[in-house]
Amino acid sequence: MSFEYIDNPIELVDAWLKEAKLSEISDYNAAALSTISISGKPQVRMVLIKAFDENGATFYTNLESQKGKALLYNKFASICFHWKSLGKQIRIEGEVEQVSNSLADKYFETRPRNSQVGAWASLQSKKLESREVLIDKVNQIERKFNGGKINRPSFWSGFLLIPNKIEFWVDGESRLHERVEYIKKGKSWKWSLLYP
């Protein structure tokens, strides 16, 4: 066996994230986020998972972006971590809920100032006439705050993905990968082996 089966898969996700942090060149917490658009079409993009614990996976975005609108419309989503350096992958499915304003504020304060300015300047996912327009908006925001504290914009927040299914995948020879699926039943988890 490539890993030990345990009752709580959250602990295993945490262990694999810590392992990936030591082996991945950058962005060990990058995950593909899959959503369903308002028109019912699948969408996927990479996001950085900023926290993972018993509650689930937390990430942040512009609420008016494609993913923000999709998540406010359809609360089901999934993420996938893949670490080539480890030959491991985790898929997580569940429902999302918007994080509290206080939590979003707290995280926003930890962002580099340039990223805070960027959150204000970017009309994420909307058509951009030219790169110069974006740079002009960045300069306008910097002048507006004039070196002072930058508060979180009301249109920028975070989401918590609350897992109800977690699948662990370990690369195997001859494509005989090892797959274990955990499904939440009430407050406990039940696991099953899956064919590769």
Query: Would you give the end-to-end CA distance of the chain in angstroms?
Result: 14
93 CB-near residues (< 8 Å, 6+ apart):
76, 77, 78, 163, 164, 165, 166
d(CA 53, CA 64): 26
Among 111, 131, 175, 179, the one annotated catalytic: 175
Helices 131-145 and 113-121, interaxial angle, to 10°? 120
Is 175 an active-site residue? Answer: yes
Conformation bin of residue 13: beta by default, left when phi > 0, alpha when psi is -120 to 50: alpha
Q: SS3 for 32-96, per residue?
A: EEEEECCCCCEEEEEEECCEEECCEEEEEEECCCHHHHHHHHCCEEEEEEEECCCCEEEEEEEEE
The maximal CA–CA distance of the chain, rounded, in angstroms, is 59
**Which residue numbers are catalytic?**
175
